[in-house]
Amino acid sequence: MAAAGYSAVVDRLMAALGRLPGIGARSSERLAHHLLKCPPEEAIELAEAIRSARDRIRHCQVCFHLTEADEPLCSICRDPRRDQSTVCVVEQSRDLIAMEKAATFQGVYHVLLGRLAPLSGIGPDQLTIDALANRVQSGTIRELIMATNPNLEGDGTALLVAKRLGGSEVKITRLARGLATGSTLEFANRDMLADAFSGRHPL
């Protein structure tokens, strides 16, 4: 999508920006102009922030939330006040952050790193279901709360996990539909999430 009249360097910048979610051709052109016009240190700070995050951030070895490279476990898994027997299963770290902001959940999490989306080629193997099965097998977990999003793919993912772990002792529940069908957890407010937790039902 090389725009006429730009040098190869500017084209490269616009192409990189254009690959970001929600950024179309016009936005990438506008952002590129901004980055070329703003104080150099501002643009370099952005580049450095991206580099440092990519270099330093890893997935937690237990729950797959984000953690820093020198901490194999995330701050939630390390927190002795959290109830290790109740695990809330979410699609992505952003959902976990939404739950933490609502501050209604005292257990720990498991981040699937996506959701089942056969049409986009995302199957069970791309998710962290094996790791979750291993956690369940270790025996400390009593309940898994499926908190995948209340839409077709989120429901499918919850059912898949329930089917996979159904033979085990663990109780599997699904967040109540205090959340409107088709909505996403990321944008749920505190009361909605509290209702969804307290009204959870067996899956």
- Nearest distance from residue 55's CB to Zn ion, in Å? 20
Distance CA 82, CA 115 (A): 25
**Considering beta carbons, is residue 78 or 101 the nearer one to Zn ion?**
78
Strands 171-174 and 201-202: antiparallel
CB of 169 to Zn ion, least distance (A): 22
| Number of residues counted as binding Zn ion (CB under 5 A) | 6
Instruction: Enter the tokens of residue 92.
Output: 């992505």
In the complex with Zn ion, the residue whose CB is nearer, 74 or 193, is: 74
Q: Is the dihedral of CA 103, 184, 127, 164 positive or negative?
A: positive
Our CB check for Zn ion shows the closer of 63 and 188 to be 63
**Closest distance of CB 100 from Zn ion, Å:** 12
Residue 56 vs residues 48, 51, 52: alpha-carbon distances, Å: 12, 9, 6
On the 0-12 / 13-18 / 19+ scale of CB atoms within 10 A, 121 is: exposed
Distances (CA, A) of 120 to 38, 134, 153, 186: 38, 27, 11, 21
- We find the least distance from the C-beta atom of residue 109 to Zn ion, in angstroms, to be 7
Cβ distance to Zn ion smaller for residue 109 or 197: 109
How many Cβ atoms from other residues are within 10 Å of residue 21's Cβ? 4
Q: What is the x/- site pattern for Zn ion, positions 140-179, by CB under 5 A? A: ----------------------------------------
| Residues 37 to 96 in contact with Zn ion, rule: CB under 5 A | 60, 62-63, 65, 74, 77
- The amino acid that residue 98 corresponds to is A
Considering beta carbons, is residue 110 or 200 the nearer one to Zn ion?
110
H/E run at residue 52 = helix 40-56
Q: Which is nearer to Zn ion, 28 or 64 (CB)?
A: 64
Instruction: Kindly state the smallest distance separating residue 88's Cβ from Zn ion, in Å.
Output: 12
Q: CB 60 → Zn ion: shortest distance, Å?
A: 3
Q: Which residues bind Zn ion (CB under 5 A)?
A: 60, 62-63, 65, 74, 77
